């Protein structure tokens, strides 16, 4: 019976096109702006005009959820978003993140102090030219690249105070453990969680299901990260049978995985953007889903 229930949920999930992000109803296919910055997410884009064209095509395609941060560049992606899209459409939700800064050579440096977090919110407001940020994710930096345990009470208290002052509408968490989510939810309302998750990297399976029950969005990043050669070859073979690209299949699997998953694939190419968005229309059968699920085992 449990298997049938899971299958029914999976088959339905891919057809659900929108989900609540706080009080904002957003389309589940969004866009991540990180790749618009230079190599290593540092410095200006290789092609400024193309970066603006990508952002305008994002809106032209009806996407209403853009993920960014003022430490991308730094300041680069937010300034590009402002140049391309301001004044913003009323239904556009821009999600940013704080708690990191960049060194002179592009190093990722934790920035968890009250002053640094407050400054980051004001930097995002200024560079995006907004009076209030729709969603701010607190990225936990106990380990720069992976979730690691540690209390988030102090930085989350700062962010919650900025929310009370009217500078932040909703709060999310990024690079977090289940324990940190529970701590965060005991302090304030959490709108979304943004973690590393894909077909091959399934550590957050139980977390996603818990968040879905609570109506909290889950936003995975690196949809093709961490695959072994064997896992990649299986995905490629399935994609060839479907007449799609491996990235499209990986994105479609995420949409089918759970209705609370919101996608933010990034690219600096208009053609690649259109390929990614097409994944939102890809229907995966129960048999294909079972085949893809096995990659994670």
Grouped pLDDT means (10 residues each) for the chain, 297 residues: 46 88 97 97 97 98 98 98 98 97 95 97 98 98 90 98 98 98 98 98 97 98 94 97 97 98 98 97 96 93
What is residue 104's three-state secondary structure?
coil
Are 108 and 139 in contact by the 8 Å Cβ rule? The answer is: no
Length, in residues, of the chain: 297
Of the residues 31, 72, 197, 218, only one is catalytic, namely 72
Any idea what the Cα angle at residue 43 is, between residues 81 and 103, rounded to 5°? 115
Helices (H), the chain: 2-13, 48-60, 76-85, 114-128, 153-164, 178-187, 205-213, 229-242, 246-257, 270-278, 286-293
Residues 6+ positions from 283 with CB-CB distance below 8 Å: 14, 15, 252
**Would you call 72 a catalytic residue per the annotation?**
yes
Q: What is the CA radius of gyration of the chain?
A: 18
Phi, psi of 195 (to 5 degrees): -140, 170
Closest CA to 217 of 179, 173, 180, 177: 173
264 vs 280: CA distance, rounded Å: 12
Lookup: tokens for 114: 């009250």
Predicted local distance difference test score (pLDDT) of residue 297: 79
Q: Is 150 left (phi over 0), alpha (psi -120 to 50) or beta?
A: left
pTM flag (> 0.85): yes
Residues 6+ positions from 21 with CB-CB distance below 8 Å: 65, 93, 95, 134, 135, 170, 191, 192, 217, 262
Are 51 and 45 in contact by the 8 Å Cβ rule? The answer is: yes
256 vs 289: CA distance, rounded Å: 8
Distances (CA, A) of 48 to 80, 229, 275: 8, 34, 21
Are 174 and 184 in contact by the 8 Å Cβ rule? The answer is: no
Are 10 and 288 in contact by the 8 Å Cβ rule? The answer is: no
Q: Is 222 left (phi over 0), alpha (psi -120 to 50) or beta?
A: left
Lookup: tokens for 76: 């680069």
147 vs 177: CA distance, rounded Å: 6
Instruction: Taking the CA atoms of 165, 168, 173 and 174 in sequence, report the sign of the dihedral they define.
Output: negative
Domains and CATH numbers, the chain: 2-296 (3.20.20.100)
């Amino acid at each position: 019976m449990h298997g049938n229930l899971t299958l029914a949920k999976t088959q339905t999930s891919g057809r659900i096109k929108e989900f609540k992000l706080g009080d904002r109803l957003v389309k589940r296919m969004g866009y991540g702006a990180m790749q618009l910055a230079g190599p290593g997410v540092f410095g200006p884009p290789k092609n400024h005009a193309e970066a603006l064209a990508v952002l305008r095509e994002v809106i032209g395609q009806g996407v209403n959820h853009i993920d960014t941060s003022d430490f991308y560049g730094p300041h680069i992606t937010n300034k590009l978003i402002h140049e391309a899209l301001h004044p913003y459409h009323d239904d556009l939700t821009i999600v940013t993140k704080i708690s990191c800064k960049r060194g002179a050579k592009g190093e990722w440096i934790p920035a968890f102090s009250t002053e640094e977090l407050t400054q980051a919110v004001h930097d995002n407001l200024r560079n995006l030219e907004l009076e209030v940020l729709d969603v701010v994710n607190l990225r936990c930096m106990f380990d720069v690249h992976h979730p690691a345990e540690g209390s988030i009470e102090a930085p989350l208290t700062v962010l919650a105070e900025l929310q009370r002052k009217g500078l932040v509408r909703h709060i999310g968490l990024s690079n977090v453990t289940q324990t940190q989510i529970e701590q965060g939810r005991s302090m304030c309302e959490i709108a979304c969680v943004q973690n590393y998750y894909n077909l091959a990297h399934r550590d957050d399976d139980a977390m996603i299901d818990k968040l879905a029950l609570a109506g909290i969005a889950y936003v995975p990043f690196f949809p093709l990260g961490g695959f072994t050669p064997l896992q990649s070859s299986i995905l490629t073979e399935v994609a060839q049978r479907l007449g799609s690209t491996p990235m499209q299949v990986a994105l479609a699997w995420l949409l089918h995985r759970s209705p609370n998953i919101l996608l933010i694939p990034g690219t600096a190419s208009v053609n690649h953007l259109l390929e990614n968005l097409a994944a939102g229309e890809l229907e995966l059968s129960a048999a294909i889903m079972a085949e893809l699920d096995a990659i994670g085992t």
